[in-house]
Amino acid sequence: MSAKNSVNISFSVNGENFDDVTVPTRQHLADYLRSQGLTGTHLGCEQGACGACTIELDGVAVRSCLVLASQANGSSITTVEGFDDEIMEKVKNNFLKHNAFQCGFCSPGMLMTTKEIISSKKKLSRDEIRAEISGNYCRCTGYQSIVDAIEESINEIN
């Protein structure tokens, strides 16, 4: 690949360092992560509308289809594969308990948004939870069970 078509960057994903890796300049971050086997990050629209590709970049939930891989230089990224702390275990168990997913394609993005909700430490009403996740599309569940799972997580953790 010629120099102008690619760029070398460094960043970390789920605690693992990616040092001086070559990424195509036009590649979005979701495609890059998926090409590295991190296939838990899903693509539903590639235009920022569905939330399936949501990841955490330097502590903020972002849509990885709207970020170029090259823009991640110097950042620290968490994907669904990196959710192993106690809080996210509780959240995952609540998702399981309430069957807050059917096909599971939206789940990585939903969990990412949930993580942000939980870390805001706010006590949210069901309507407020619905507002918070209204950037994440789910075709299967009708959302109610997802709201149930997030509601219980907030009560349990915050």
Partner 1 sequence: MDDIKVNQNPKLGSMDRPNSYIGRSLPRENAKKHLEGGGQFVDDLVLPRMLHVAFLRSPFAHAEMKSINVEVAKTSPGVFDVYTAKEIDEYCKPWVGTLGHLGEMRSPEQTPLAEKIVRWQGEPIAVVIANNRAQAEDALEVIEVDWEEKDAQVDMETALDDNAVVIHPELGNNLFWTRTVNQGDVNQAFKASHAVVETTLDFARHTGVTLESRGIVADWNKAEGKITIYHNGQAPHMMQHIIAKHLEVNEGLVRIVSRDVGGSFGIKVHVYPDEMAAAAISKKLGRPIKFIADRLESFTTDIHARCHKISGKLGVDKKGKILAMEINDLSGIGPFSMYPRTSAIETNQVLNLSGAPYIIPNYKAVGTVVFQNKTPMCQYRAVGHPIAVAITEALVDKAATKIGINLHEIRKKNFIPDNAYPNKTPSGVPLEDLSHQASMDKLLNMMNIDDIEKQKESNLAKGVLTGYGVIAMCEVTNPSPLFYGVGGAHISSQDGASIRLEGSGAIHLSSSITEQGQGTEAIMKQIAADQLGVSMDSVRVTLGDTDATPYGGGTWASRGAGIGGEAVLKAARTLKENILDIAAAIMQTDKNSLDVENNTVIRKNGGEGITLQQLAETVYYRGHELPKGTNPELLATASFLIEGIPFVFTNSAMGCKISIDQDTGIVKIDKFWAVEDCGTQINPKLVEEQIKGGVIQGIGGALFEECVYDDQGNMQNATMADYLVPMAYEMPDIIVDHVTTNSGRSIIGAKGAGEAGTGGAPAVIMNAINNALNQLGKEVVSQPITPEKILKALGKI
CB of residue 33 to partner 1, shortest distance in Å: 10
Task: Answer yes or no whether residue 58 interacts with partner 1 by CB under 8 A.
Answer: no
Q: Are 82 and 117 in contact (CB under 8 A)?
A: no
CB of residue 81 to partner 1, shortest distance in Å: 4
Task: Answer yes or no whether residue 101 interacts with partner 1 by CB under 8 A.
Answer: yes
CB of residue 70 to partner 1, shortest distance in Å: 14
Which is closer to ligand FES, CB of 17 or CB of 136? Answer: 136
Residues that bind partner 1 (CB under 8 A): 24, 26-27, 31, 34, 38-50, 52, 79-81, 83, 92, 95-97, 99, 101-108, 111, 126-127, 129-131, 133-147
